Chain A
Amino acid sequence: MLHCTVKFCGGCNPRYDRGAAYRQICSRLADIAAFSYPEDGVHYDVLLILRGCTGCSYLYEEISAEHRIVCTDQVEADHAAAHIAALA
Chain B
Amino acid sequence: MMTKEQYIESLRKLNLNLWMFGKKIENPVDDPVIRPSLNSFAATYEAAEDPQYEDLMVATSHITGKKINRFTHMHQSTDDLIKKVKMQRMLGQKTAACFQRCVGMDAMNAVFSSTYEIDEACGTKYHENFVKFLTRVQEEDLAVDGAMTDVKGDRGLAPSKQADPDLFLHVVERTADGVYVTGAKAHQTGFVNSHEVLVMPTISMREGDEDYAISFAVPTDSEGITLIYGRQSCDTRKLEEYNDIDVGNKVYGGHEVLVIFDRVFVPNDRIFLNGEVKFAGMIVERFAGYHRQSYGGCKVGVGDVLIGATALSVEMAGCAKASHVKDKLIEMTHLNETLYACGIACSSQGSKTKAGNYLIDLLLANVCKQNVTRFPYDIARLAQDLAGGLMVTQPSEADYRNPQLKPYIEKYLKGVASVPTEDRMRVLRLIENLTMGTAAVGYLPESMHGAGSPQAQRIMIARQSNMEQKKQLAKAIARID
In this complex, the interface size class of chain A, counting residues with CB under 8 Å from chain B, is: 10 to 19
> Does B83 sit at the interface, judged by CB under 8 A?
yes
When A and B form their complex, what is the total count of cross-chain residue pairs whose Cβ atoms lie within 8 Å?
38
Residue pair B56, A11 in contact (C-beta under 8 Å) = yes
Residues of A within 8 A of B54 (CB): 8, 10
Residues of B within 8 A of A11 (CB): 52-53, 55-56, 90
Instruction: Tell me the chain A residues, 3-17 only, with Cβ under 8 Å from chain B.
Output: 6-13
Residues of A within 8 A of B56 (CB): 10-12
CB distance from A12 to the nearest CB of B (A): 3
**At the interface, is chain A mostly helix, strand, loop or mixed?**
loop
Residues of A within 8 A of B397 (CB): none
Residues of A within 8 A of B304 (CB): 13
Residues of B within 8 A of A19 (CB): 52
**At the interface, is chain B mostly helix, strand, loop or mixed?**
helix
CB distance from B93 to the nearest CB of A (A): 7
Residue pair B87, A12 in contact (C-beta under 8 Å) = yes
Residue pair A8, B55 in contact (C-beta under 8 Å) = yes
Residue pair A10, B51 in contact (C-beta under 8 Å) = no
Residues of B within 8 A of A9 (CB): 55
Residue pair B53, A8 in contact (C-beta under 8 Å) = yes
Residues of B within 8 A of A7 (CB): 51, 55
Please indicate which of the listed interface residues A7, A10, A18, A58 has the most CB atoms of chain B within 10 Å of its own CB: A10
Instruction: Tell me the chain B residues, 13-68 only, with Cβ under 8 Å from chain A.
Output: 51-57
Cα A8 to Cα B55 with chains together (Å) = 7
Residues of A within 8 A of B89 (CB): 12-13
Cα A58 to Cα B83 with chains together (Å) = 12
Please indicate which of the listed interface residues A6, A11, A13, A19 has the most CB atoms of chain B within 10 Å of its own CB: A11
Residue pair B53, A10 in contact (C-beta under 8 Å) = yes
Residue pair B83, A10 in contact (C-beta under 8 Å) = yes
Report the 9 A-B pairs with minimum CB-CB distance, sorted nearest first.
Answer: A10-B56, A12-B86, A10-B55, A8-B52, A12-B90, A12-B89, A11-B53, A19-B52, A37-B51
